[in-house]
Structure 1
Amino acid sequence: MASSSSPPPSLSSSSSSSSGFFAICVLHAAVAAACGALMMFYVDEAAAFGHGREAARRLRGSTPRDRLLIETSDSFAGLLLFAIGLLLFMVAFVRDREFQAFFAKGCVLLHAAVALWRLLFERRLDDLARDLPRQLVGDLVLGLSWILFLIYSWREKYD
C-alpha cells in the first residue's frame, strides 16, 4: 500500500494553532475583564483613576437622577466589557488558523473604530479631551498587537 504524502490533520495549516494568538487573547481578556469588573463595582474609583478626581466629579452628574443614570450606564458598560473579556478568553482556545486571522482582522477594525470615535466625539467633551492622547495610544497599541499577530501568522503561512 502506498502512503499518502499529505500531512496528518493535526499538522495541517487550518487546524494548527498559534501560541501568539492564545497569548494576545488571554492578555486582552484579562485587561477587559479587570476593567469591566472595576467599572461595575468601583465606578467612582475607576473614573477618578482614569480621569482624575475633579473630572470624575463633573462626569457624575449634577442631580441624583443624573447620578443614578450615569452609574447604571457605567455598570452596564462594565458588564459588557467583562463579557467581552470572557468571550476573548473562550476564543483563545480556538485552534483554527483561518478563524484566528479573521478574528484578528475584526479586532483591528474594532480598535480603529474606537480610536475614530474618540477623535470625532470624545475630544469635544472638555472633561475627556485631556485624556485623549493617552487613550488613543492605548487603542493603537491594542490594535497593533493584532496587526503584529497577522504579520507573524502570514510569515508562518508563506515560509
Structure 2
Amino acid sequence: MSSPSTSFRVMCTVHATVAVTCGVLMMFYLNEISAFGHGEETAIKLQGSTPHDQLLIQTSDSLSGMLLVVIGVFLLMVSSVRDKDFQTFFAKGCVLIHVSMAVWRIYFERRLEDLAWDWPRQAVGDIILGLSWVLFLVHSWKEKYD
C-alpha cells in the first residue's frame, strides 16, 4: 500500500476543524454567532416569536451543530485512509456537496426575506470550500501523471 497523501490529510483536517468549530458555536453560542453574522435585528427574528417556536428552533440548531461535530470527527477518521482511489472519490463527493450547498443558497435561501442579503457571502464560502477539494484533485492528478 502507498503512504497516505499528506495533502488529503491536511484537507480533511482543515475541513474537520471548520466543521467542529462551527458545530460547537452553533450548539453553545448560537445567539452571539447569529448576531455577529446576520446583525442583531435579523438574529432576533431568527429566534422565533413564541416560546414553542424558540424551543423548536434551538433544538434544531443544536442538532445541526451536533451533526457538524460528527461530520468533523468523520473527516478526521477519513483523513487516515491510504487508498488513493478512495481519496479521489471522497474529494469528488465533497466538491459535489459544496456546489449543491451553493446552488441551494442561490435558488432558495435568497428568497427568504430575513436572509436575502446573506446568501452571496455564504455561497462564496461554499464555492471556496469546494474549490479547496478541486485543488486537491488537481494536485493528485499532477502526482499521478508526472
TM-score by length of 1: 0.89
For residue 42 of structure 2, what is the amino acid of its counterpart? Answer: A
Of 88, 94, 97, which residue of structure 2 is paired with 1:107?
94
> 2:80 aligns to what?
93
For each residue in 1:85-142, what CA deviation from the matched residue of structure 2 results, as whole angstroms up to 9, or x when unmatched? 1101111111111110000000000001111111111001121111111101100100
Question: Does 2:127 match 1:143?
Answer: no
When Rg is computed on C-alpha atoms for both structures, the one with the higher figure is 1
- The alpha carbon displacement at 1:82 in A equals 0.8
Q: Which runs of 5+ in 1 are unaligned?
A: 1-9
Of 56, 70, 73, which residue of structure 1 is paired with 2:57?
70
Once residues 135 and 49 of structure 1 are traced to their aligned partners in structure 2, the CA distance between those partners, rounded to angstroms, is 14
- The alpha carbon displacement at 1:17 in A equals 2.2
Checking the alignment, whether the CA contact within 8 Å between 1:108 and 1:144 is kept in structure 2 is yes
For residue 129 of structure 1, what is the amino acid of its counterpart? Answer: A
> 1:79 aligns to what?
66
> 1:4 aligns to what?
none
Once residues 90 and 17 of structure 1 are traced to their aligned partners in structure 2, the CA distance between those partners, rounded to angstroms, is 13
RMSD of equivalent CA atoms? 0.9
> 2:12 aligns to what?
25
Q: Once superposed, which parts of structure 1, at least 4 consecutive aligned residues long, lie more than 3 Å away?
A: none
2:23 counterpart SS class: helix
Number of aligned residue pairs: give it.
146
> 2:46 aligns to what?
59
Once residues 13 and 62 of structure 2 are traced to their aligned partners in structure 1, the CA distance between those partners, rounded to angstroms, is 23
